[in-house]
Amino acid sequence: MSSGLLTTEQVLAAGQKLLELRPLEEVFAAILETAAEAMHAETAVVILGSGQRLELAAAYSRRGDVRGVEDVSQSLVREVIAENKPILTESAVEDPRFSGKSSIILQHIQSAVILPLTGRKAVEGALYLDSRSDRDLFRKENLAPLATLAAFATLAIENARRFERAQSEIAALKSRDSKTLIVGDSPAIRELYSLIDRVAASDLPVIITGESGTGKELVAREVHRTSPRASKPFLALYCGNVSPELFESELFGHKRGSFTGAVSDKEGLVEAAEGGTLFLDEVADIPAALQAKLLRFLQESEYRRVGDTELRKANVRILTATNKNLQAEIQSGNLREDLYYRLYILPVTVPPLRERLADIPFLVHHFLRKLGNHVSGISPEALRRLQSYTWPGNVRELENTIVRAAVITRSDRIEAEDISHQAIAKTSSDEDWSWKAAEKLHILQVLSLCGGNRSRAAQMLGISRRYLHYKLKEWGEQETQ
């Protein structure tokens, strides 16, 4: 029985069937069924791998005796994969490439074809078809349409793998507690989550660094939420612009009459957070007179209320955050060096938004859900505008932008014209049209596209990594990779 010539319509119909989104196992089954049906083959096998390592991905047989890798000519399969060229024989018995192969002889193969499955970067494997009853089943005229069919098959495999990865990532995100505070799934955020998981189990101090607006307090809350102290209080104190007296009272409490206005005894946050976590935001702004008292508490877990002689103890984990250069604060005399070393045990750096632009769609939908109004989506062009900006104000600036856009839009989704706010306008305003400003914007955008990888960014920009490091240092950018 001859299969005849495959028509374009047959190949396209088969390809459309293969490209339906489905799990990988179903894709393999569809490839085998489609190829065997199109060519009237008795056996169809998908083999993945390269070099010496070949794996049977799936097999089909009209006779029900499914074969393995050892039942096909592995040397010919390797040749097809290595050279990325198909091999077809109309008569395996007479073809010298096939006739001497033990697998051909033992299986009584009359005709066969082996097609490379070529992915975007390399050959994925091969599709093997054969027949034991028909000598002229596979014709050379079918090589071109068969190659197209194999391309559809490879694309289907790649799509299925992406589909399964996406399903796995979605499942991983869903498996996290619904109270998860940090939004995103970029490599930078995954690394941040990994670091949080590692430091959460400890009782040692954690210092969270990062630019303003990156979400340092959210990271602190996530450290507490995933720690053994999660059932106990999480309390936060902002350390900036507070007088020494009020700060000490807030932190350690005070005794009645210890200062004007102290009309009753008051417990401080250290006492109120017993068993839990105390977060000190902008720790570099703690008044110099109190840094020694904080250091003593970190070392001994002991403190005194303002105006009291009683020495108290507390079991509290201290988390701190700052957007300042602490080494510079030490040199300027604003921060005690011994306090720095006591705090800087487990550092966690929160990446700026420009290094995680892939998270913007996640963040946008998170902010829209928080708003809860009629706006439920965002247009692709609006997203592109958001992802083309470097966000010096980070996530806080993005949230303000989305809130404004959701209020002014006339649609049920945010459009590009709705985000013509001050921040985006900075990229095209006449505020600074200098070459240096353009160079900085371009370099930072390329660095963001490379996920903060300086070597890759320098290569894309056509400059040396040393020059890139020099420019970033000049602009005061944080070290990435």
What's the domain range around 389?
Answer: 359-425
Pairing of strands 317-322, 413-414: unpaired
Same domain for 53 and 156? yes
Degrees, nearest 5: CA angle 28-72-52: 85
Same domain for 300 and 440? no
The share of the chain scoring above pLDDT 90, in percent, equals 23
Query: Considering the domain boundaries, does residue 15 fall inside one?
Result: yes
CA-wise closest residue to 220 among 102, 346, 93: 346
Query: Considering the domain boundaries, does residue 173 fall inside one?
Result: no
**Residue 481 is part of a domain; what is its CATH number?**
1.10.10.60
Same domain for 46 and 194? no
Q: Which long-range contacts (CB under 8 A, 24 or more apart) does 329-337 make?
A: 329/284, 333/288, 334/284, 334/288, 335/284, 335/291, 336/288, 336/291, 336/292, 336/295
Query: Considering the domain boundaries, does residue 21 fall inside one?
Result: yes
Same domain for 75 and 126? yes
Any idea which of 19-23, 339-343, 431-435 has the lowest mean pLDDT?
431-435
Mean pLDDT of 245-266: 81
pLDDT given at position 245: 72
Question: Residue 127 CA to chain centroid, in angstroms?
Answer: 33
Residue with tokens 């991983």: 172
Same domain for 420 and 443? no
Confidence of residue 424 (pLDDT cuts 50, 70, 90): low
**Residue 408 is part of a domain; what is its CATH number?**
1.10.8.60
What are the DSSP E strand ranges found in 268-381? 277-281, 302-303, 312-313, 317-322, 346-349, 377-378
Query: Exposure pattern of 118-150 as b/e (b: 16+ CB <10 Å)?
Result: beeeebbbbbbbbbbebbebbbeebbebbbbbb
Query: Considering the domain boundaries, does residue 354 fall inside one?
Result: no
Same domain for 260 and 337? yes
pLDDT of 76 strictly over 70: yes
Query: Considering the domain boundaries, does residue 172 fall inside one?
Result: no
d(CA 354, CA 445): 7
Query: Exposure pattern of 354-367 as b/e (b: 16+ CB <10 Å)?
Result: bbbbbbbbbbbebb
Same domain for 24 and 61? yes
Mean pLDDT of 51-76: 75
Q: Are 11 and 144 contacting, i.e. CB atoms less than 8 angstroms apart? A: no
Same domain for 249 and 137? no
Any idea which of 14-23, 47-56, 99-108, 117-126 has the lowest mean pLDDT?
99-108
Residue predicted with more confidence, 35 or 423? 35
Query: Considering the domain boundaries, does residue 112 fall inside one?
Result: yes
**Residue 158 is part of a domain; what is its CATH number?**
3.30.450.40
pLDDT (tens digit per residue) in 332-353? 988 999 999 999 999 999 999 9
Q: Which of 294, 322, 349 is the last residue in one of the domains?
A: 349
Same domain for 13 and 162? yes
Confidence of residue 234 (pLDDT cuts 50, 70, 90): very high
Give, as one character, the DSSP assignment of residue 333: T
Same domain for 333 and 398? no
Instruction: From residue 56, give the alpha-carbon distance in Å to each of 70, 110, 115, 224.
Output: 9, 22, 15, 47
pLDDT (tens digit per residue) in 372-385? 778 878 888 888 88
Residue predicted with more confidence, 16 or 327? 327
pLDDT (tens digit per residue) in 154-184? 888 888 877 776 666 555 555 544 456 788 8
pLDDT of 431 strictly over 50: no
d(CA 336, CA 344): 12
| Residues forming a β-bridge with 58 | 46
pLDDT of 459 strictly over 80: no
pLDDT given at position 432: 52
Query: Considering the domain boundaries, does residue 179 fall inside one?
Result: no
Domain total of the chain? 4
Structure-block tokens of residue 384: 């592109």
Query: Considering the domain boundaries, does residue 182 fall inside one?
Result: no
Q: Which of 329, 349, 369 is the last residue in one of the domains?
A: 349
| Residues forming a β-bridge with 348 | 208
pLDDT given at position 205: 94
Same domain for 241 and 297? yes
pLDDT of 427 strictly over 50: no
Give the chain's end-to-end CA distance (angstroms, integer): 63
Sign of the torsion formed by the C-alpha atoms of 347, 213, 449 and 377:
positive
Q: Whole-prediction pTM value?
A: 0.54
Indicate the angle between helix axes 454-461 and 435-449, nearest 10 degrees. 130
pLDDT given at position 428: 44
d(CA 131, CA 383): 53
Any idea which of 213-222, 315-324, 431-440 has the lowest mean pLDDT?
431-440
Sign of the torsion formed by the C-alpha atoms of 94, 148, 21 and 77:
positive
Q: Are 33 and 116 contacting, i.e. CB atoms less than 8 angstroms apart? A: no
Sign of the torsion formed by the C-alpha atoms of 270, 273, 277 and 282:
negative
Q: Which of 349, 372, 392 is the last residue in one of the domains?
A: 349
pLDDT of 214 strictly over 60: yes
pLDDT (tens digit per residue) in 78-111? 888 888 888 887 766 667 776 666 656 556 677 7
**Residue 228 is part of a domain; what is its CATH number?**
3.40.50.300
Same domain for 252 and 306? yes
Mean pLDDT of 244-268: 82
Residue 468: partners with Cβ closer than 8 Å, 6 or more residues away: 443, 447, 454, 457, 458, 461
Confidence of residue 423 (pLDDT cuts 50, 70, 90): very low
For residue 95, count other CB atoms closer than 10 A to its CB.
17
pLDDT given at position 82: 84
